[in-house]
Amino acid sequence: MNFTNTGIVTVRKDRACAICDNMINRGTVCKTVNRKGVGRKWVCLSCVERIDELESLSGGLGANFDDEGYAQVCLESKSEIQSELMDCYDKLGIKFSGENA
């Protein structure tokens, strides 16, 4: 995740992941996203990895493959990847408009 206002922290209280709702136990390392007007969200590391993967798939590969080639490489269509990514952003209170800051 490349947004600003994120950080890797060790949680001091049990938290629920903003994406998958899994419990992030006290003392566990996770990522926080702090958005103005939204507040702080906690994201478990497996969701962070998934978002990183979705971001690189939707951005990185997308530039080099047409939809058909893309589907062969990724076994997921680009629109599916983008909609999953949008869903993640939505849960983090991030407006999807290419906004990364």
**Binding-site ranges for Zn ion (CB under 5 A):** 17, 19-20, 44, 47
Burial of 58 (C-beta count, 10 Å sphere; 0-12/13-18/19+): buried
* Amino acid letter, 27: G
Q: Please report how close the Cβ of residue 22 comes to Zn ion at its closest, in angstroms.
A: 5
Strand partners, 7: 32
Q: How far is the CB of 44 from Zn ion (least distance, A)?
A: 3
Cβ proximity to Zn ion: between 70 and 88 the closer is: 88
Q: How far is the CB of 49 from Zn ion (least distance, A)?
A: 10
* Distance, CA of 21 to CA of 26 (rounded, Å): 15
